[in-house]
Amino acid sequence: MRIAYLDCFAGISGDMFLGVLLDAGLAPQVLHDAIASLNLGASLNLERVDRSGISSTRVLVFDGTEPAEKSTQPELHGSHDHTRTHTYDHTHSHDHAETHTHEKKPEEKPHHHGRHLSSIRKIINASTLADEVKQTAIRAFELLGASEAKIHNVDVEKIHFHEVGAIDAIVDIVAASAGIHALAVDKWFCSPLNVGGGSVDCAHGHFPVPAPATADLLRGLPTYTDSAGPQMELVTPTGAAILRALSPTFTQPPVMRVHRIGYGAGGRNPKGFPNVLRLNIGESAQAASTNTVTVLETALDDLTPQIIAHVAEQALQQGALDVMLTPVVMKKGRPGTLLTVLCDPEKASALEHLLLRETSTLGIRIHQQQRSCLDRSHQTVSTDYGEIRIKVGSLGQDAFKEELNANPEFEDCRAAAAAHNVPVKQVVQSAIAAYHSGKSK
């Protein structure tokens, strides 16, 4: 199984996440193509930098002719980017600034009211990105907007992302989503998060780190402050939102065979502190693994199909391994639906709350089961319709590895079929033929 481990000993931000993906081997064209599809006139500048002796990749966002705000003011922002947002309500004459106030420099553009969440959704949905990339990006922005709305006690649609900051955040989040899916990692893991120390100047006063929106996004996640480290903010709202959308398992480093190591740089280089995000990518050291999963079940006979479908989608977005809907006949002959959610034990509490909140059930059955899993990896084959990823399930390791299943990734096949105006099954058959004929690479 292909796994990845994020080591957030120096926190995480949007630009650090992009840098670490590239440094770990992601093709830069993946990010460039994703940004170009947004039609915002934005671009990326990639550079090698030194962070306390660690060579790492630094990513800067340009809004067309000049760097976006995070790139021109790294010193004001500590080590990372900031998604600048404020609410705008016609019944109030004041603005509510998320996270931080910013000292205006002469070369900066004047501040304007920017895009709200619905317009950002439209920009992402209008792009040519794959559906799963759009979903991840929109999910991250919705999480970011929801935290801002909660902090300011307003409706989420009244949250406005500052014009320059919005482009910056859209680029970070959309590019991160494209990179996440292009890496084809089967399972993500993450270390506890170093949030930094000290305080930041917000529109509401002097706040201890983390800033309010970041703190809300980090609820329920393992965080800490290293008193011996630099006293600055290390986790930004954009970085926290990307992590929430990624939904990794928070743990110590898993047992794995590491194939690639990447370092993504923050904006500053404090003495004696490597301001980088590290990513390890490799294979799980266990071939056929048996693990414990939590099963949540409830039978529903008084809920509309639309809501049931919505709950299933939300469960998957919140980290469920699988969701099943089974037609059942309940008491008095009433037709119903058995909703079954499969998840890692650490996600059971959140998913239990989701089912109790969103459905009409009065109770949920919860039990643990053992699951045996094949080791999963990806190979890429060349077809007449382009390159298609093949998910391979195997048993054993090294010389004893036996490939038992191989299936094309359906989203790759669907995109290729649409691009060439052919049936999806034709692309699937071509990919399988290419795989079995030894064209995988």
pLDDT tens per residue across span 233-285: 999 999 999 999 999 999 999 888 899 999 999 988 998 999 999 999 998 86
Average of per-residue pLDDT values in the chain: 84
Give the Cα separation of 27 and 24 in Å (integer).
Answer: 9
Residue 85: per-residue pLDDT? 42
Residue 356 has pLDDT above 80, yes or no: yes
Helical (H) or strand (E) element with 309:
helix 305-317
pLDDT exceeding 70 applies to what percent of the chain? 82
Other beta carbons within 10 angstroms of residue 252's beta carbon come to 8
Residue 286: per-residue pLDDT? 54
* 362-417 residue pLDDT tens: 999 999 998 888 888 889 999 999 999 999 988 766 544 678 899 999 999 999 99
Q: Specify the residue for token string 């000290």.
A: 198
Contact 238, 145 (CB under 8 A): no
Residue 287 has pLDDT above 70, yes or no: no
Residue 78: per-residue pLDDT? 35
Between 41-55, 65-79, 254-268, 363-377, the lowest mean confidence (pLDDT) is in 65-79
Residue 72 has pLDDT above 70, yes or no: no
* 86-102 residue pLDDT tens: 333 333 332 333 333 33
Residue 257: per-residue pLDDT? 86
Other beta carbons within 10 angstroms of residue 1's beta carbon come to 21
Contact 2, 376 (CB under 8 A): yes
pLDDT band at 64 (very low <50, low <70, confident <90, very high): low
Strand order in the sheet with 115-116: 96-97, 85-87, 159-161, 115-116
Contact 6, 279 (CB under 8 A): yes
Give the Cα separation of 87 and 203 in Å (integer).
Answer: 12
The per-residue DSSP string of 267-297 comes to S---TT---EEEEEEEEES-SSEEEEEEEEE
Contacts 24+ apart (CB under 8 A), 210-216: 210/235, 211/98, 211/99, 211/100, 211/237, 212/98, 212/99, 212/151, 213/85, 213/98, 213/99, 213/144, 213/147, 213/148, 213/151, 213/237, 214/99, 214/240, 216/147, 216/150, 216/151
Residue 328: per-residue pLDDT? 96
